[in-house]
Homo-oligomer: A and B are copies of this chain.
Amino acid sequence: MFDFDNTERTNLEEMGEFGLIDYIKKAVELTEKSTIKGIGDDAAVLDFGGKKTLISTDLLLEGIHFDLRYVPLKHLGYKAVQVNLSDIYAMNGIASQITFSIGLSSKFPLEAVEEIYQGALIACKKYNVDLIGGDTSASAQGLVISVTSIGYADADQIVYRSGAQEGDLLCVSGDLGAAYMGLQLLEREKDIYLENPNVQPDLEGKDYIVERQLKPEARKDIVELFAKLGIKPTAMMDISDGLASEILHICRQSDKGCRLYEEKIPLDQMTYDTGREFGIDPTVAALNGGEDYELLFTIAQADHDKIKNLPDISIIGYMTPSTEGCEMISKSGNLYPITAQGWNAFKKKD
């Protein structure tokens, strides 16, 4: 995991920006019918006919969003795309294109850049998304990745954060807190490795939580499920900063309050067990850990029957008037205000 095979190295300095762009152009395949023109001109050209166009963008910086000491480059490329597509699905839209820009030290060999793009292109292929452009540059400092995703939706199917109504059910896809637990595990193994490089990382039996951290999957399947079941959520967003922070976003933007049941928060057994090992309350990991990239949404009570037996969707609470505040009902039956201790990129790490 901590090894990089650098036997073959092609120098980026010799290759230059155009050489690198040519390499990328050859690696990219266009399959989306809304893509008229991809890489190779001043701008890409898209055609969405009568659909609305959705745009989202993310910046990923070395030392802030990822640590190259334990994130394999291919996973990094894959995750950078997933994180961004997730925002399009969170609008109840379908992602169709991305631009992928990268700033990297000229000391990086081409093979490392290939790994990053390979990961990005695997994600594109899996999610039927075209890579249509980007920018490549040297970086005087660390690795920089910027992704913009483009998608579409019928005007009447777009779901904002602001549409939750009183009495709506608060729901979430998948399970929460696992990505955070995976991060704890990777950080621990990194520290052990840095102390003694001969010790191999011990991640055995922890595949699920490590994968949730390194290789998250955006929930396109949930958006497709909504279409199939004829459900349109009243509000939706993806969980990147932690459940608590995202619930507060929906409450604030919808001008509503909510009741969240602690016991209903979906947790995987491995998240639970690892939490016990690390002395971290799994509820706290779900509320404040972030990076789950699950969908948090509200639906009308009338849609309850359509979702009640779906294994991948959990009803975790309901919406109230804003005057009742945003509260969690703990397992012991006490009420606690939900507060966002979510990730603050400008705060120093403890």
0/1 interface trace, chain A 220-251, chain B, CB 8 Å (1 if under): 00000000000000001110000000000000
A64 near B139 (CB under 8 angstroms)?
yes
A141 near B63 (CB under 8 angstroms)?
yes
A158 near B59 (CB under 8 angstroms)?
no
| Residue among B42, B44, B106, B139 making CB contact with A237, cutoff 8 Å | B42
Closest B residue to A44 using CB positions: B55
| Residue among B13, B42, B49 making CB contact with A91, cutoff 8 Å | B42
Give CA–CA (A90, B40) in the complex, Å: 13
| Residue among B40, B87, B140, B346 making CB contact with A43, cutoff 8 Å | B87
B56 near A45 (CB under 8 angstroms)?
no
0/1 interface trace, chain A 30-70, chain B, CB 8 Å (1 if under): 00000011001111111111101111111101111100000
Give CA–CA (A226, B17) in the complex, Å: 32
B12 near A346 (CB under 8 angstroms)?
yes
Residues of B within 8 A of A162 (CB): 41
A144 within 8 A of B: yes
A103 near B61 (CB under 8 angstroms)?
yes
Q: How many copies does the complex hold?
A: 2
Residues of B within 8 A of A20 (CB): 346
B52 near A16 (CB under 8 angstroms)?
no
Residues of B within 8 A of A187 (CB): none
A161 within 8 A of B: yes
A93 within 8 A of B: yes
Closest B residue to A344 using CB positions: B16
B344 near A137 (CB under 8 angstroms)?
no
Closest B residue to A65 using CB positions: B137
A253 within 8 A of B: yes
Residues of B within 8 A of A16 (CB): 344, 346-347
A118 within 8 A of B: no
A348 near B106 (CB under 8 angstroms)?
yes
Check A57/B141 contact, CB under 8 A, given A42-B238, A345-B17. no
A141 near B138 (CB under 8 angstroms)?
no
Closest B residue to A135 using CB positions: B59
A73 within 8 A of B: no
0/1 interface trace, chain A 80-100, chain B, CB 8 Å (1 if under): 000000111011010001010
A48 near B48 (CB under 8 angstroms)?
yes
A97 near B55 (CB under 8 angstroms)?
yes
0/1 interface trace, chain A 266-309, chain B, CB 8 Å (1 if under): 00000000000000000000000000000000000000000000
Give CA–CA (A136, B12) in the complex, Å: 29
| A-B contacts besides A16-B347, A61-B144, 16 pairs, CB < 8 Å | A17-B346, A37-B160, A43-B54, A46-B53, A46-B54, A46-B55, A47-B52, A47-B53, A47-B155, A57-B133, A57-B135, A58-B101, A59-B101, A64-B140, A138-B346, A140-B141
